[in-house]
Amino acid sequence: MQASSTALLGLNKLRSEAREALVVPELKPTALMSVSQLANNGYTTIFHPYQEGVTVHDANSFSLTLKSPPVLQGCRNEAGLWTVPLKDEAAVSQHLDIDEAAMNVYDLPSTKEV
C-alpha cells in the first residue's frame, strides 16, 4: 500500500496543520491521520484500553492525574518516530535534565541462598 496524495480532513475542531492526511486508496476509509502530526501541532492523543477508542485533546485543555507510574515510557527519536525500550530497564528520555535521572553503574551478581 502506498499513499497516492494528501487531503485536508473536514475536522474543523483541529488546527488546519493537524488536519492533513495521507490518501491510501486501498484502505477503507482511504485517509490516514498521523498521531505524530497531531503531536507536532500541540495535541495529546490517548489510546484507551480494549474497545474504548481513542481521544485527541488540545495539550493545554486538560490535566492528567496518574495513580501510579507508567508501565512503559519512551520518547520520540530524531526521525520523529516514537520508540520504547525493548527490555524491562529504566528508560531515560532524551528530554530529561540529566540531574533528574538516576543511573546504575554497578553490575552486582546475584547470590544463592543456602
- Assess whether pLDDT exceeds 90 at residue 94: no
The confidence score (pLDDT) of residue 89 equals: 61
What is the full DSSP assignment across 10-57? S-TTS-GGGGEEEE-TTSSS-EE--HHHHHHTTEEEEE-STTS-EEEE
CA distance 34 to 7: 12
| Span 46-68, pLDDT tens digits | 999 998 999 999 999 989 898 99
**Does pLDDT of 76 surpass 80?**
yes
Give the DSSP letter of residue 79: T
| Mean per-residue pLDDT of the chain | 78
Confidence bin at 27 (pLDDT 50/70/90):
confident
3-class SS of residue 100: helix
Q: For residue 108, is pLDDT > 60?
A: no
Spatial contact of 65 and 85, defined as CB atoms under 8 Å apart: no
